[in-house]
Amino acid sequence: MELLRFFTAGNVDDGKSTLIGRLLYDSKSISTDILETLTKQSKSTGVDADIDLALLTDGLRAEREQGITIDVAYKYFTTDKRKFIIADTPGHVQYTRNMFTGASNTDLAIVLVDARHGITEQTRRHSIISNIVGIPHVLVCINKMDLVNYDEEVYNQIKADYTHFAESLNLKKVSFIPTSALTGDNVVKHSENLKWYQGPSLFEFLETVEIEQDFKTQEARFQVQYVIRPQTEELHDYRGYAGSILSGSFKKGDKIAVHPVDLTTTIEKIEKFGQEVEEAHAGEPVIIHVADNIDISRGTTFVPNTTFVPNTTFVPNTISITDGNTIHTPSQSIQTEKTFEAIVCWMDNKSFQPGQKLLLQQNSFRSKAVIKEIDNKINIYNFKSEPSDGSLHLNDFCKVTIKTAETLSFDEYANNRKTGSFILINENTNNTVAAGVITS
């Protein structure tokens, strides 16, 4: 069975909570005692329907009182084919940071559109956020079809409008499904009312949509989380670097470059759960042993030596001549810099103060950092760059120049979501104040 993580975005009242509730309800993922509480609650909030499916996804009391979802809530359901993790995020513009957060870890975005209103500013904003986060696949759910008489024309028009808009972004893949969350049309079962629609129901779509396995085919990256040194008698010299393969794969005997110390060595052994393995791939937690005694600690990055450029006489083995005489050019190599450009989403209630002391964290790597310059502000309604007035407020997206104290080893986010992403931490409050994706 596979795991699919997706997030949902929509305007307030587009029917997001109802849709998720419907998915859980119709896939029989709701227990009777929870349904019972919901029925009780639905009565006390005076909602008509037997159960208000939206209540399923509303978590905390403060939010219940305000009647809006203000955080990222995680929901789970399982079918015979897949386990799903839903990051349910609020739609309001003032919760842009929550949406960015919910989206950061997912493979698919479901953007809800009210069939009566078509593409709105909010739809654009949600799609642009998905675009910045680099979601591989966007599904546009054209909801409330019951309120437009299940009209195919309405659906086609919205589809055309969205397709036109999406051309200005670099979304990799976009799909469309007409639904009615309230009546359940096309959510789990195909609908008589939507006979003209030949595609899958939302449920079928979720069960079959291809999950991008990007990380597997990318350049190999590994970062040390923790150094294991038992220091017992029989394991006196044991020194293993524990961490997860971030992307690509490593093999025993691979020549690697170690950053930021800029040294090369060889992988002597890879262990996984107490057993030696020949090879390990993206996502796998392992312990790596290297041949030379060099300074390696938490946050140290391993990459194939082929991408290590300075003063090396080593012939990169990715350049090989195959049968068809085509030359494989080496893929994007790791960059090691103290200054780089990124798009950040400011997440703190307090705005950025010039000179503010920050810590940058990328996976397990941390360094002191400053935002040197705020280059541009990104308009999240049309994705255009606007001149910056030098400020950075909650929910702003800006192109910035960041300088770190230690050398950072990274890839551009577009090439690698694991090594191209980071958070900024306020050194005084310890809060996570921004999330960023490296652009160059």
Ligand X SMILES: Nc1nc2c(ncn2[C@@H]2O[C@H](COP(=O)(O)OP(=O)(O)O)[C@@H](O)[C@H]2O)c(=O)[nH]1
Closest separation between CB of residue 57 and ligand X, Å?
7
* Radius of gyration from C-alpha coordinates of the chain: 24
187 belongs to the binding site for ligand X (CB under 6 A) = no
Closest separation between CB of residue 227 and ligand X, Å?
46
- Contact criterion met (CB below 8 Å) for 62 and 54: no
Closest separation between CB of residue 195 and ligand X, Å?
17
Q: Based on CB atoms, which residue is closest to ligand X, 202 or 290?
A: 202
102 belongs to the binding site for ligand X (CB under 6 A) = no
- Cα–Cα dist 124/381, whole Å: 6
- Cα–Cα dist 414/417, whole Å: 7
Rounded to 5°, angle at Cα 224 from 275 and 362: 140
Among 6, 7, 9, 18, the residue binding ligand X under the rule CB under 6 A is 18
Among 4, 6, 9, 10, the residue binding ligand X under the rule CB under 6 A is 10
Q: Based on CB atoms, which residue is closest to ligand X, 64 or 403?
A: 64
- Contact criterion met (CB below 8 Å) for 385 and 128: no
Q: Which does 259 bind (CB under 5 to 8 A by kind): another protein, ligand X, none?
A: none
Q: With CB under 6 A, what is the number of residues at the site for ligand X?
A: 16
Residue 198 CB neighbour total at 10 angstroms: 7
Pairing outcome for strands 285-290 and 240-247? antiparallel
Among 7, 9, 15, 137, the residue binding ligand X under the rule CB under 6 A is 15
186 belongs to the binding site for ligand X (CB under 6 A) = no
- List the interface residues with ligand X, window 123-182 (CB under 6 A): 143-144, 146-147, 180-182
- For tokens 């589809």, the residue is 159
Q: Which of 74, 135, 66 is nearest to 100 (CA)?
A: 135
116 belongs to the binding site for ligand X (CB under 6 A) = no
Q: Based on CB atoms, which residue is closest to ligand X, 143 or 426?
A: 143
Q: Which residue is nearest to ligand X (CB)?
A: 15
Residue 162 CB neighbour total at 10 angstroms: 22
Per-residue binding string, ligand X, 43-62, x by CB under 6 A, is -----------x--------
Piece of 7-15, 102-110, 127-135, 166-174 that binds ligand X (CB under 6 A)? 7-15
Burial readout 212-232 (b: 16 or more C-beta within 10 A, e: otherwise): eebbeebbbbbbbeeeeeeee
Closest separation between CB of residue 142 and ligand X, Å?
10
Question: Residue 256: helix, strand or coil by DSSP?
Answer: strand
Q: Which does 319 bind (CB under 5 to 8 A by kind): another protein, ligand X, none?
A: none
Closest separation between CB of residue 98 and ligand X, Å?
14
Residue 84 CB neighbour total at 10 angstroms: 22
Question: Residue 165: helix, strand or coil by DSSP?
Answer: helix
Q: How far is the first Cα of the chain from the last one, in angstroms, to the nearest whole number?
A: 37
17 belongs to the binding site for ligand X (CB under 6 A) = yes
Half-sphere exposure of 329 (CA within 13 A, CB side): 3
Q: Which does 226 bind (CB under 5 to 8 A by kind): another protein, ligand X, none?
A: another protein
Which phi and psi angles does 21 have, rounded to 5°? -55, -40
What single-letter DSSP state applies at residue 316? P
201 belongs to the binding site for ligand X (CB under 6 A) = no
What single-letter DSSP state applies at residue 180? B
Q: Based on CB atoms, which residue is closest to another protein, 182 or 282?
A: 282
42 belongs to the binding site for ligand X (CB under 6 A) = no
- For tokens 């029917």, the residue is 15
Written as one letter, the residue type at 77 is F
Piece of 12-20, 124-132, 162-170, 223-231 that binds ligand X (CB under 6 A)? 12-20
Closest separation between CB of residue 150 and ligand X, Å?
11
14 belongs to the binding site for ligand X (CB under 6 A) = yes
Token pair of 116 as six digits? 């009566």
Q: Which does 13 bind (CB under 5 to 8 A by kind): ligand X, another protein, none?
A: ligand X
Q: Which does 59 bind (CB under 5 to 8 A by kind): ligand X, another protein, none?
A: another protein
12 belongs to the binding site for ligand X (CB under 6 A) = yes
- List residues near ligand X by CB under 6 A: 10, 12-18, 54, 143-144, 146-147, 180-182
